[in-house]
Amino acid sequence: MILKFINTGLRPGKFNMEFDEALARDLQNGIGFPTLRVYGWYPPAISIGFHQNIEDFDHEKIIKSGFDIVRRPTGGKAILHAHELTYCVVTKIIDQGPRTIYQSINECLLRGLTNLGINASLSLYSDNFRQLYKLNTSIPCFSSSAKNEIQFEGKKLIGSAQRRYGDVILQHGSLLLGSEHRRIIEFLAPHISDSGEIINNTLLSCTTEVETILKRNVSFNEIAAAIKKGFEDSGNIIFEDSDTTVANSSLSPLEECL
């Protein structure tokens, strides 16, 4: 399979989510291309799932802290994007269904982590999301795992989500580099702030990060190169126009890549 590779670096939340969706819609409309994109977030931002209640978070406090809040095109629960690498894959559904594509992408990510010396694995079972969300609608994405998500020693390392656009799949996810994602409890709205301690304890017990595992600092560029090579090492991915870095945010997402 031939994919485009795009590294857009650190960008605002609105740009990141619009870019991912534009990649998917353009591929759906026949004017785009299958793509692996890697990126980060500046300023840090809370992204909420497509169906999540944005009022679960204190907007004023988020803005005063210099952070941002944005809605994802995919489902799931909230994530605080700070010190991480986010990936996005858009591809056509041809001879694989969404679940198989999900597993295949995560296997490529596993190969990338192996390049860093991280012996991660795919989770074998899925948590009971319906029960978890019933207990607490503000529960963050990284406090639970789905089948075939990436873990290290039983703790979640990469959280991913999918959305289907006709015959196109958009899958994106966060690879945690540091522990800043746990600060999400600081921005809960007053009506659910009592859940903060429970959420914090859950994140501490259920998540881990690249720098915690490797016991050293890991740069965005180092992890981006490792993930790209992981896809190449999968044996069926060839990158076209690789190592593209988008630098001019004044253009629309796809104009910057063409």
pLDDT at position 145 is 53
Q: Which domain does 176 fall in, by range?
A: 2-241
Q: Is residue 252 part of a domain?
A: no
Q: Check if the beta carbon of residue 20 is closer than 8 Å to that of residue 75.
A: no
pLDDT at position 162 is 96
pLDDT at position 248 is 40
Query: What's the gap between Cα 123 and its chain centre?
Result: 17
pLDDT at position 140 is 58
- DSSP letter assigned to residue 102: H
CA angle 242, 41, 48 (to 5 degrees): 115
Q: Is residue 258 part of a domain?
A: no
**Mean pLDDT calculated for residue range 12-19:** 98
**Mean pLDDT calculated for residue range 194-209:** 88
pTM of the model: 0.87
- Using DSSP's 3-state secondary structure scheme, residue 254 falls into coil
pLDDT at position 128 is 44
> pLDDT tens digits, residue range 48-91?
999 899 999 999 999 999 999 999 999 988 999 999 999 999 99
> pLDDT tens digits, residue range 125-143?
654 445 544 545 555 555 4
Residue 84: closest CA among 42, 126, 138:
42
Among 88, 108, 141, 257, the active-site one is 141
Q: Is residue 254 part of a domain?
A: no
pLDDT at position 241 is 64
Answer yes or no: 88 catalytic. Answer: no
- DSSP letter assigned to residue 65: T
> pLDDT tens digits, residue range 45-54?
999 999 899 9
Q: Is residue 176 part of a domain?
A: yes
Q: What mean pLDDT is reported for the chain?
A: 87
Q: Is residue 256 part of a domain?
A: no
Residue 25: CATH number of its domain: 3.30.930.10
Domain total of the chain: 1
